[in-house]
Chain A
Amino acid sequence: MTNTENTCPSGTSEMHKNEPAGGKISIRNATKLYDPDGANVLALDNCSMEIEAGEFCVIVGPSGCGKTTLLNAIAGFHGITSGQIDIDGKMLCSGARKADPGADRIVVFQNGALFPWYTVLENVTFGPAVQGKMSKEVARKEAEQILAEMGLKGILHNYPSEISSGMRRRVEIARAMMNDPNVLLMDEPYRAMDALTKTIMHKNLLDVYDRSKKTVFFITHDLEEAIFLGTKVYVMTTRPGKIKKVINVDLPRPRDYKILSSDRYLELKLEVIESVHEEAKKAFEAGERELA
């Protein structure tokens, strides 16, 4: 599935309309060796993945298996020791060179990283403001539009501490989408939420995804969430991380809650559970041995 036909991601500004949608990520033999206090920790070991442009890819695996390391490498916060990561055919980072963080690969963090000292409006328009790409008026209008599309009205001048956590998370996604990134990197963004709030978050994210068809790199521990949201689910082994299994989620889009009762969904869930559980047990036992 190519996205070159999709040259008009909706809900974003005029200037982005004619750029081809990108976000094809190619990870080849990525290896990461941490050296804290002289103890070599091999976080990733020849990890390879091919992510198509516009794919919603979900990474699952036991804690400490290197998922966040991968995400940090793509985002440009850390580098890798060897191997190479390309984006749209161009090298992003390798053992020799770390990537710089940029507005084409935006991260949404676990407990949210909305700037508490800025209002919602100031947060959402932060990207355009520092990049100087849009005038204040244009940015404001666009922010209002994106937020309205997410069902958030009238909170423009509130501080993050004044709105609920579900709203905060959506504002953060709005903030990311303002910059029309190629890749949306999400590190367990809905982890601390209860089942009810998660349902809204999912619907919201899927709306955004269906409209914009961005590549999404999503890390989670919630296996139901993984299958419900993802195009492909990548199961990682315990540390040092490799890809254990790739599961194709061949459920139709747009996804809604009715598919949760389908047979195919149940089959996929069982497959994922067994695979992850096996790795989780290994990781757990290894962890306990380490402490003994």
Chain B
Amino acid sequence: MDPNDNKANAEIKMTGGQMEINGISKSFGIGPLHQQVIENCNFTLERGKLTVLIGPSGCGKTTLINLLAGYEAPDSGTITIDGEPIKGPGKDRLVVFQETALFPWMTTIQNVMYGPMVRGDIGKKELEDEAMFLLRKVGLEEFRDKFPTQLSGGMQRRCELVRALINRPKVMLMDEPFRGLDAMTRELMQEYYVRLFEENHLTNLFITSELEEAIFLADRLIILTNRPACARTVMEIDLPRPREFKVLATREYLHYKQHALEILHEEALKSFSSGCRSESADFMEAYSEIKSA
């Protein structure tokens, strides 16, 4: 192995932060348009673990990420990282968004080097070496001088992962990053992502609405209720690492999946009886189907 790799590898092994979310609430709008999106939400992002948040679409997951990242402030409650309350956005908590946020006027490598470069943390040569090292890890070294529009969806996602990673955040916040990719690309992105996680063990928060993805990736799975969202259940996912796709055919995986489905059903039932959204009509049926099975 290239001696430079060893050195870079050692440097990239950073420790993740621990985030505590206590009693946060958030609402939008006034009067008749008032929406309580999050109410009295409590959970912990454990250091070095991959925590996955799952919940029905529209239940407030993105708002939660905005609060954790510091783009918005909660109405009440506290969010701390390593004991310190957060004060707005910062490079210790970086977000990877749903739609690509790569700068279209910069090449792959320029995008990756952007963060450290504007902060002036590292020298240019060192920065470029580190960027190339990370790009090689995700198989993008040949595409360093291409523009984002010349990359496929999967490649853009990987570039974004690396762009976040190079800043050595304490916490990585992933907001349904693989949504919209086709199933095959998605699975392979999950593999790249989980490998990266298993190598550097940063604290990761991954939000998704796909149950299989959630269980495949997670150390801990948190199921959110429908609006107003709060963390309803925490499941520890004790599947062996490194995670391989074969794990999807094991009994343990199936057990986790069924348990999670039951909880999701109950949530959907609650939302139907209180909310009457038309989508919930399907959930209502699903619940009664599973109950009778």
Using CB atoms and an 8 Å cutoff, list the residues of chain A in contact with chain B. 62-63, 151, 162-167, 191, 194-197, 199-200, 203, 221-224, 256-258, 260-261, 266-267, 269-270, 273-274, 277, 280-281, 283-284, 287-288, 291-292
Q: Which one of B72-80, B184-192, B217-225 is at the A interface?
A: B184-192
**Given A199-B286, A221-B183, A288-B155, is A165 in contact with B249 using a C-beta cutoff of 8 Å?**
no
Q: How far is the CA of A283 from the CA of B184 in the complex (A)?
A: 9
CA distance A274 to B187 in the complex (A): 13
> Which B residues touch A167, using CB under 8 A?
281-282
The answer, among B182, B248, B250, B283, for a CB contact under 8 Å with A196, is: B283
Task: Decide yes or no: A269 and B286 within 8 Å by CB, A258-B293, A287-B152, A291-B155 being known contacts.
Answer: no
**B286-A197 in contact (CB<8A):** yes
A7 to B254, CA, bound (A): 40
Q: In the complex, are the beta carbons of A260 and B265 less than 8 A apart?
A: no
Tell me, rounded to whole Å, the shortest Cβ–Cβ distance linking A247 to chain B.
Answer: 13
Min C-beta distance of B140 to chain A, whole Å:
9
Q: Which residue of chain B has the shortest Cβ distance to A197 in the bound complex?
A: B282
Do B249 and A269 touch (CB < 8 A)? yes
Q: What are 13 contact pairs spanning A and B, CB under 8 A?
A: A63-B182, A63-B183, A63-B184, A167-B282, A195-B261, A196-B261, A196-B265, A197-B283, A203-B289, A257-B290, A266-B249, A283-B184, A284-B188
Task: Point out the residues of chain B lying under 8 angstroms from A221, CB to CB.
Answer: 182-184
Interface flag for B101 (CB, 8 Å): no
Measured CA separation A291–B184 after assembly (Å): 17
- Contact B282–A280 (Cβ < 8 Å): no
Contacts A63-B183, A199-B289; A291 near B278 (Cβ below 8 A): no
* Complex contact A266–B251 (CB within 8 A): yes
Which secondary structure dominates chain B's binding surface? helix
Distance (whole angstroms) from the CB of B286 to the closest CB of chain A? 5
Residue of B whose beta carbon sits closest to that of A62: B184
Closest CB-CB distance, A244 to chain B, in whole Å?
Answer: 15
Interface assignment of B56: CB less than 8 Å from any CB of chain A: yes
CB-based contact B57/A194 at 8 Å: yes
B245-276 interface mask toward A, CB cutoff 8 Å, 1 = contact, 0 = none? 11011110010001001001100100000000
**B100 at interface by CB-CB < 8 Å:** no
**B155 pairs with A277, CB closer than 8 A:** no
The residue in B57, B143, B282 that gathers the most chain A C-beta atoms within 10 A of its C-beta is B282
Cα–Cα, bound, A195→B211 (Å): 7
Q: What residues on B are CB-neighbors of A281 within 8 Å? A: 188
Q: Which of A63, A194, A260 contacts B209 (CB 8 A)?
A: A194
For residue B279, which residue of chain A has the nearest CB? Answer: A164
CB distance from A249 to the nearest CB of B (A): 14
Contact status B183-A164, CB under 8 Å: no
Q: How far is A100 from B17 in the complex, measured between Cα atoms in Å?
A: 62
CB under 8 Å from chain A, chain B span 181-221: 182-185, 187-188, 209-212
**Is B142 an interface position by the 8 A CB rule?**
yes
Name which of A199, A224, A283 has the most chain B CB atoms within 10 A of its CB: A199
Q: Report Cα–Cα, A191/B184, bound state, in Å.
A: 12
CA distance A60 to B39 in the complex (A): 43
B101-139, CB under 8 A of A: which get 1 and which 0?
A: 000000000000000000000000000000000000001
The verdict on B285 contacting chain A, using a C-beta distance below 8 Å, is yes
Q: Within the complex, what minimum Cβ distance (angstroms) separates B292 from chain A?
A: 10
List 8 tightest A-B contacts by C-beta distance, closest first: A221-B183, A270-B249, A166-B282, A269-B249, A195-B211, A196-B286, A280-B184, A292-B142
- The reply on B8 being an interface residue by CB < 8 A is no
User: Which residues of A sit under 8 angstroms from B188, Cβ to Cβ?
Assistant: 280-281, 284
Whether a CB of chain A sits under 8 angstroms from the CB of B150 is yes
Given contacts A63-B183, A284-B185, contact A196 B282 (CB under 8 A): yes
* Complex CA distance for A256 and B290, rounded to whole angstroms: 10
Q: How far is the CA of A221 from the CA of B268 in the complex (A)?
A: 25
Cβ of B57: which chain A residues have Cβ within 8 Å of it? 194
A162-B278, A273-B246, A284-B154 given; name 9 further pairs at CB < 8 Å.
A63-B184, A166-B281, A199-B289, A200-B286, A223-B248, A260-B254, A269-B249, A270-B249, A292-B142
Asked if A195 contacts B264 (CB within 8 A), the reply is: yes
User: In angstroms, how far is the closest chain A Cβ from the Cβ of B60?
Assistant: 16
Q: Which residues of A contact B210 (CB under 8 A)?
A: 194-195
Q: Is the Cβ of A261 less than 8 Å from the Cβ of B282?
A: no
